[in-house]
Amino acid sequence: MKNEVWGPYRWEAKRSVGLFASPCCGATAVVEHGECRFPCQTLAMEPCQTLAMDPRQTRSQGPAPSAGYGETSMSIICGDHMAPRQALGMEVQAWTAGPPSVNLHSPDRGLKGETMERLLPNDDATDLLEVVRDFAQSELAPRAADAEENEEFPRETFRQMGEMGLLSLAYPEEYGGSGQPYETYLQALEEIAAAWMSVGVGTSVHTMTCYPVATFGTDEQKQRFLPEMLGGSLLGAYALSEAGAGSDVAAMTTRATRDGDDYVLRGTKSWISHGGHADFYITFARTGEGKSGISCFHVPADADGLEFGVPEKKMGLTGSSTTTVTYDDVRVPVDNLIGGEGKGMSIALSALTSGRLGIAASATGLAQAALDAASAYAKERHQFGQAIAGFQGMQFMLADMAAKVASARALYLDAARRRDRGMKFVREAAIAKMVATDAAMSVTTDAVQVLGGYGYTRDFPVERYMREAKVTQIFEGTNQIQRLVIARDL
């Protein structure tokens, strides 16, 4: 039987009736039908041993005496100095130290008030954020850890989100989108990423893949492609990077050659999110030389000659498939050329500018999740006779973490609001992406430190958060590239 994590030590109970008293100090608690009348009250067993009871963690383990108030079914796993039958009148079946008393996997991990406190443009946006958060915490958060551990790509989750309209929030209603301003979309994305980072990043990637057609496509292309791309049934991938062309996009070698009414694509793309699972690939390939010789194409996943490599073995975001994509004489109609020949570089950079805000929002959500976990733990973990959150050193660490999260959120929202108003936001997007992802790396690392040894184990989610944070400093423009973008705009 699996022990649930709650209390300074693990305990299990299903049905217990009685007044239990500590053999050490006489402290008492009433436990009736698995409900402790004083939830989470610590009862001293011995000077160095504590046991916390909480009604949310109950399991049957067999009969034991109950201090004269009837039969109880309870098994206690407590400190290794606990003598049998000393555990508040209950028979100890086994004993071992366990993690401190905080359920960091709970859907109610401290974000419930966050949505209501956001500065949103209207009541509709507030209602939307409440729906998104409820979905994220009820449907995404409970599944994230297992899916990441098993490297399961959440295709059905994306399909469900598509049906809810969550994959098209920032696009016009006339093409199947929700017509939301970017500041609203990004805050919804933050809620999704806080619950499950792979899904948050995947939502950002899909949103970016729709950008070239929505912004640079002809009216005919918008009518032909966007309803399905935004309708929820399709998932996109953005095929720009190559093994020798990462930060240096102009070094790409994938080529598209005109052949009658088609272009024939040959080459290999690397580090492609959703590789092998996407329904279409926004692909950048050479049609000429130099920076002006790159073009953008809409390539359907069922095109002949399109092949996918084995998913990369990554340190984080293991629920998100990342592969190579090989174009072996893949034919696409001339009508699938987006924006005209030679426009690919400007399309790619424009899409990345908006996409970086999605990564900034996702990183902020991840950092918020880590802050929530660390704060909750610090309030429950007791050392030297008090919660560790009461120590000034811990308070300063948590305060610094909170300041970084708030700063990241403010920066991505500033850039988004500029975008919504038609203002320049290239520099602001780079700043937001750099600061938010650096903050995510710092905050998640500090969260592991707050939890100490437990933070280094997979019993708690903060080590996963730390692994997931690292790649945010790398993809969609490394943070060193962001510094170049910022400096050039000064």
Compute CA distances 342 → 215, 251, 299, 366, whole Å: 16, 15, 17, 37
> How far is Cα 190 from Cα 217, in angstroms, rounded to an integer?
28
| Cβ atoms of residues 149 and 204 within 8 Å | no
Residue pointed to by tokens 């918008």: 222
Non-local (6+) Cβ contacts of 377 within 8 A are: 100, 102, 104, 450, 451, 454, 460
- Residue 434 corresponds to which tokens in the numbers above? 């750099």
Which residue among the candidates 191, 380, 468, 476 is catalytic per the annotation? 476
Other Cβ atoms within 10 Å of 69 Cβ, number: 16
Q: Is 248 helix (H, G, I), strand (E, B) or coil?
A: coil
Residue 409 main-chain phi, psi, to 5 deg: -65, -45
- Which helix (H) or strand (E) element contains residue 359? helix 344-380
CA angle 188, 191, 197 (to 5 degrees): 115
- Locate all alpha helices (DSSP H) within 7-154, ordered by sequence: 112-117, 123-135, 141-149
| Cβ atoms of residues 327 and 310 within 8 Å | no
> How far is Cα 51 from Cα 78, in angstroms, rounded to an integer?
7
- Residue 179 corresponds to which tokens in the numbers above? 């017509």
- Which helix (H) or strand (E) element contains residue 300? strand 294-300
Residue pointed to by tokens 């959150």: 389
Amino acid at 304: D
Q: Is 35 an active-site residue?
A: no
- Residue 242 corresponds to which tokens in the numbers above? 């190559």
Residue 410's nearest CA partner among 360, 366, 375 is 360
Can you name the residues that pair with 282 across neighbouring β-strands?
A: 238, 298
Q: At what angle do helices 182-195 and 392-420 cross, to 10 degrees?
A: 140
Q: How many CA atoms within 13 Å lie on the side-chain side of 287?
A: 21
List, by residue number, the catalytic residues: 476
